[in-house]
Structure formats: C-alpha cells, structure tokens
Structure 1
C-alpha cells in the first residue's frame, strides 16, 4: 500500500467500485421521474453511459491522489486511549456477585493464616524431636488438620471468585456490544474505532477486567491476613528478633514498587503494537482475492510477523527486567534468613530466647516474605485490567445524540406520514471535506415510497 503499486490500485478500485455501485443505484432511483399513473420513467441509454463515464473519472481521480490515501492511513494508525479505571468502579460492576465475593474473601482470609500457623506447628515438631518424640501424634494430626483447612479454603475461594469473574465477563461483553450498537455512524467512521479494534476490545478487554475483581482479590486478602498473622506471632515469641528481621521489609517493598512501575509503563505500548498486527491481518483477509491474485501472501505474512516481532522483543526485555526485580525480592528473603539466624543464635546464647521460639519468629517472618511475593504477582494483571476497564467504561459512557435504546422523548399519537426536507447538507465529522448530501430537497406524500 505504501508503494502505490498495482496492489494499491486494485484495492482502491475494488473499494470505490463497491461504493459507486451503491451510489449508482441510488442515483438511478433518484433520477426516475414519476408520471401521473405512478410508473417510473427509466433513464435513457445515453444517460447511463454518461453516469458510467462519471464513475470512471471519479475512480481515476481517487487513484491519482496517493496523498489522500496516506493521510487516511496515518489516521488509521491512531489507537484509542483512556485513563486507567479505578478499582472501586470495577468492583462496583461485580456487585451482583457480592455473595460469591464475600464467601471467597472469608476463605482467602482463613487460607492466609494457614502459613503462619505452619510456622508454629513446624517449630513445635522440631521441639518434639528434641524431647524424645513426646506429643508427636498431636502435632502430626495438627498438620493433617491444616491440610484439610487449606483444601477447603482454596476450593471455596477458587470456585467463588471464578463464578464472580466469569459472570462479570459475560455481563461486560453484553454491555459493551450494546454500547457499540447504540452509537451513530460517525462513531464507526473514526479510524480509532475500526472493526479489528472493536472486536479485539470485545473479546479481550472484558476478560481482563475480571483479573482485578476475581481470583486476584483472593490473593491480596490472603497476603494481607498472612502478613498480619505472621507479625503477631513474631512479636509474641520474640519482639527483638522481629524488629531485626523487619528491617529488610523496606527492601522488599522497593523491589515491588520497581516492578509495578515497570509493568504499568510498558503495557500501553504493548497494546499499540498488537493492534497494528491486528489491522494488518484484517486488511489481508478483507482483500484476500486481490492478495491471492497478485500472490502477495508471503508479503503480508512477513508484515504480520514483523508487527508481532516488536512486542515480542519488548516482552523479552520485560521478562528479563521482571526476572531481575522478582529475583531481588525473593533473594532478599534469604539474606534476611542469614541475619535472623545469626541474631537468633546470639539471643539463645544470652538466654533471652529458646531455640523453638527462634524458629517460630524466623518461619513467621519468612511467611511474610512469601505473601509479599504473592502480592507482587497481582501487579501485571491489575495493570492490564485497569487499562481494559478504562476503555470499556469510556465506551459505556459514550452516549450519542440519538440513542436508539432511550425511552425518553416525545411520542406522537397522530402521524399523517407527510415528510418535507429542505436544503439538507451533511458530511461525516471525520471527513468534513467530503459532502454526503448537498442541499437535498424531498417531498414524500402519505403512501408514497422513496427509492
């Protein structure tokens, strides 16, 4: 298309001929004169020839103006953007599934406390081995009970948040499609609202929103309750050691902040590159006859592969940087282990702590590191969900001047059916230099049909 060669001319002619066929039919119908007996007077052969010549000249002019096509193509490269949706509006959309969310949140809260409880059970089990296996059956059964609790809580939170997320996706897709149907023609005339962009939004954006209100909420609640339980255990059994271990928490928070900033900054660019690939595929499929007649299949395949190569490289770099930050956040935990064991040994030698209490504090704080790591996995999905939610809410808030679904307005009880149109001019907002109607005048009497 950029070289304005044979493919460019064939595609342009194909599009113009399809449009002009419709225009010719309208012109022929408009040119038919009504005679008193109601039968139309057909155009003469010379008039039809003149119309074909006019159409041919119009096609030639359009082909000879590559600058206009380039300008149109530049407009098509535009991608619609919207501010990221806030968490509360997205959660508000999930309000009908509130019972599922509440049950899932309670299950996640209990599930979050199981890992700190594991720290106590494990420490007591070590104490059992040190005391000639006394109470071994009791603490073994405690581990068995803990496994049962985790099975029930994980099942409940997965089922509940899964149901709420899928119902939200179903409802958002229906609302988005309904919002598309209510828009006027100028909305679809905008290059940012191309067929590929709208269908992609309908297919993927709705499913991404559930990542902010579905199973990931369970992870956040599980992490929060696990953190609180771990800190309570640590301060009960050894507040001095707890303060030493908590000195490394700011480093883990820094790693999580770096990861969040990086993910949020690259997601929008990823969407732009993927939409460009979608437009290439849409162009090739829509004009497949022309593509095959010119054997341009390898060219379009190469162009599509090139469009995918850019986000591929970006995501490869993102994976490396994400791995670096994730490795730092996880590696710092073992560095905290080293400091905790050294200080714990010192506390045991001074008689301020017993060995089993050192293990309780140590494993409780290590569970804190684990839940922080789980929380960081929430960030990529949430950034995508916020971007997708912003686009969906922008579509839902776009209300045209003539809303076909609106019940407001004046309902006429007595309609005669006589229509008069005087000096009507019209052009689409995205093409102000192309007039569609040029001062049209129409009189339609009751019972008359306009072709």
Structure 2
C-alpha cells in the first residue's frame, strides 16, 4: 500500500557516527534549553516573595538584585544550549537527507525496466526526490531537537511544581489526561492525512510528466481538457487532505488551550485556599501555576513537531521500499564468473515476451535471431 508509514527510529537508519555525535550534542543542548523555563519559574517565585516581603523598605533592591543575577545566569545557559540544539540537529538532518537523496537516486538507476512499468514512473520519482526528502529532513532535523526541548520543559515543569507544592499540582494535573488523549488523536490523524496527501501529489506529478512529455500526442487527440481534468481531480484529493489537516490542527490546539486555561482558573482559586490553610506563600503559588502552565504549553507547542514526524514517516514509506528493493536483474551484482575472453555467436531461439503491465499483449511470439561472430547487427523497432 502507498498509505503506510515506517517506524520513526528507521528514519535515522542512514546516520553515520558523526551524525550520531551531532545528534547527541544537540540532544544535550535541547534538554538544557528545555529546563531553563522551569528553572525560571523558581526564580520568578522568589522574585514575587522578594517584592512581597520588602514592599515598604529599602531592602527590595538588594533582594530583587539576587533574582536578577539568576536571570542573567539562565540567559547565558539558554543561549549556549539553544545554539547547540539548533546547529547540531539542523546539520545532522541536512547530512542524513543528502545521503538519502544520493542513495535513492543510485537505487533508482539500479532498478530493472520492469520496475518503472509496474511500481513507479518518472513523475513519481521526481516528486519524491524533490518533495518527500524535504519532509524526511524536517522529521529528522530541527523538529527533533525542538520536540526534545518541549519534553524537557514538560517534565521539568512538573518536577518543579511537585517539589514546590504537590497538592496544588495534583489539582492542576486533573486536566492532563484530556490533553494526552487529544494529542494522541491529532498524531494519528496527521499521519494518515499526510500519507494520503503525498500519494495524491505523486499522482498529480505523474499526470503532468506524462502530458508534457507527450504533448504532441495529447494535442493531436485534443486531450488537453481531459489531462487538466485528471490533474484537477488529483489536486482535489490533496486539497481535501490539507483542509482536514488544517481543521484538525486548529481544533486540537483550541482544545489544548481551553483545557489549559480552565485549569489555571481553578488553580488561582485553589491557590488562595492553600495560602490560607496550608501556609503557602504567594510566590510559591505563582511558581507552581507558572511551572504547570509552562509544562502544559510545551505540550501544545509540540503539535507542529508531531505533524512533521507523521509526514516524515509517511514520506519515507515508499522511498524506503525502493531503497530496500532488490531488482530482478541487477547490473551492479558482482557475483558469478567473469570471462576474460569471449568468442561465439549470439542466438535468440523461440522467444516469447510481453510487458509486465500488459501480459495479454504478446510483443514476441516465437522470435528467433542469430548474430554471427564478427558482424554488426542493427535492431530497429
């Protein structure tokens, strides 16, 4: 089927040791970058307490300065981590995508003629070389680092929140199952729609390639309107897929934001009760709310990364099928006996042949031919 996908880890099957080192460094940078926001919420909570305790005396400047210098440290750490995250993951993605393009072209040139008759065509090959490799690169490049960063923010935010006040955090966590379910549904839908859209675009590219390549024949039979109609039909399928993706993306993001802000409204009210009955400070409540807010927002921001992963997995399905295909006639196979000197005649005897796509139409019926040694024979047809 053309609507399948490959496991995500197989997208990295062409990584070299250098690529793996870049991805490791980029992952460390992404984790560090993701933890900066949860750490910032701790400093922000201390800042709120500093303002509250010293609102009417001159110690406020000294107390706030301590928080300010912590922000400077976070800024320096975030800058270095962001550089490592983006640069390493983007370079690793570009290197692997270039390697996949090169291997795909070599594998296409290695295939036998029957492959182009039965399984693909020129338009589809060009479309996958120019379009699908970009989707794969997007799925194994910067988006991976961004996703790791967001996961780090998600985990770090809740760790900070539980340490600062587990009871208020548990109250806010009541909305998380709804966020997880909506995210899982979005991921499944994106993966399915991306595969259908890519198949439709490949079919549209085939129609254009066949029409332009045989434009004289098309014009002689006045087939221009039919070609345009077929092209519009293929584009309509991809258009509907894109519209459905857009609607689902908007709906999913809206659901995430609705649940998130409903949770914060409940947290503010419950936080006031924690100050009255549990001895929480104002800075502690704000720290917990912002930490959970940051973690939840990171979950919503992961939607573009998830959609890119789904599109990359779907795009890799057909390309990896071609990369793993062993041709029936392999011109590059070095197995067998290599003769240093060959003498003899060439003879074809009682050959029957038909194309794989048209098995009922016989091209050769009992065809025989003898080419004597030392002669030149021209085959026209």
| Fold equivalence (TM over 0.5) | yes
1:87 corresponding residue in structure 2: 8
**Structure 2 matches for 1:236-315, cutoff 5 A?**
236-289=163-216, 304-305=231-232, 307-315=234-242
1:194 corresponding residue in structure 2: 121
- Is 1:121 aligned with 2:48? no
2:108 corresponding residue in structure 1: 180
2:250 corresponding residue in structure 1: 323
Give the Cα–Cα distance (whole angstroms) in 2 for the partners of residues 369 and 184 of structure 1: 52
Aligned partners of 1:424 and 1:437 also within 8 Å: yes
- Is 1:141 aligned with 2:45? no
Q: Aligned in 2, Cα 1:239/1:217: closer, same or farther, shift over 3 Å?
A: same
- Is 1:158 aligned with 2:80? no
Q: Tell me the TM-score normalized by structure 1.
A: 0.77
Give the Cα–Cα distance (whole angstroms) in 1 for the partners of residues 220 and 368 of structure 2: 44
1:381 corresponding residue in structure 2: 308
Aligned partners of 1:255 and 1:326 also within 8 Å: no
Deviations 1:250-301 (A, max 9, x none): 1111210221122123223222332333233224322334566788767755
Query: Which range moved further: 106-115 or 321-330?
Result: 321-330
SS of equivalent to 1:137: helix
Q: Looking at CA atoms only, which structure, 1 or 2, has the larger radius of gyration?
A: 1
Q: 2:33 aligns with which of 111, 124, 129?
A: 111
CA RMSD of aligned residues (A): 2.2
Q: 2:273 aligns with which of 332, 342, 346?
A: 346
1:68 corresponding residue in structure 2: none
1:41 corresponding residue in structure 2: none
Query: Which range moved further: 251-260 or 263-272?
Result: 263-272
Query: Which range moved further: 231-240 or 209-218?
Result: 209-218
- Is 1:409 aligned with 2:336? yes
Report the Cα offset of residue 377 of structure 1: 2.2
- Is 1:372 aligned with 2:299? yes
- Is 1:232 aligned with 2:153? no
Query: Which range moved further: 236-245 or 93-102?
Result: 93-102
1:222 corresponding residue in structure 2: 149
Q: Aligned in 2, Cα 1:181/1:303: closer, same or farther, shift over 3 Å?
A: closer
SS of equivalent to 1:247: helix
Aligned partners of 1:219 and 1:374 also within 8 Å: no
Give the Cα–Cα distance (whole angstroms) in 2 for the partners of residues 87 and 296 of structure 1: 43
Which consecutive unaligned segments of at least 5 residues does structure 2 have? 55-59
Give the Cα–Cα distance (whole angstroms) in 1 for the partners of residues 275 and 47 of structure 2: 19
Q: Aligned in 2, Cα 1:406/1:294: closer, same or farther, shift over 3 Å?
A: closer
Report the Cα offset of residue 345 of structure 1: 0.7
Give the Cα–Cα distance (whole angstroms) in 2 for the partners of residues 84 and 204 of structure 1: 16
Q: Aligned in 2, Cα 1:225/1:160: closer, same or farther, shift over 3 Å?
A: same
Report the Cα offset of residue 103 of structure 1: 0.8
Aligned partners of 1:94 and 1:213 also within 8 Å: no
Which consecutive unaligned segments of at least 5 residues does structure 1 have? 1-79
Q: Aligned in 2, Cα 1:83/1:270: closer, same or farther, shift over 3 Å?
A: closer
1:398 corresponding residue in structure 2: 325
Aligned length: 371
SS of equivalent to 1:171: helix
Report the Cα offset of residue 425 of structure 1: 1.9
Q: Tell me the TM-score normalized by structure 2.
A: 0.90
Give the Cα–Cα distance (whole angstroms) in 1 for the partners of residues 94 and 164 of structure 2: 44
Deviations 1:215-242 (A, max 9, x none): 1221222122222222221121111111
2:95 corresponding residue in structure 1: 167
1:439 corresponding residue in structure 2: 366
Aligned partners of 1:123 and 1:356 also within 8 Å: yes
Deviations 1:169-188 (A, max 9, x none): 11111111111111111111
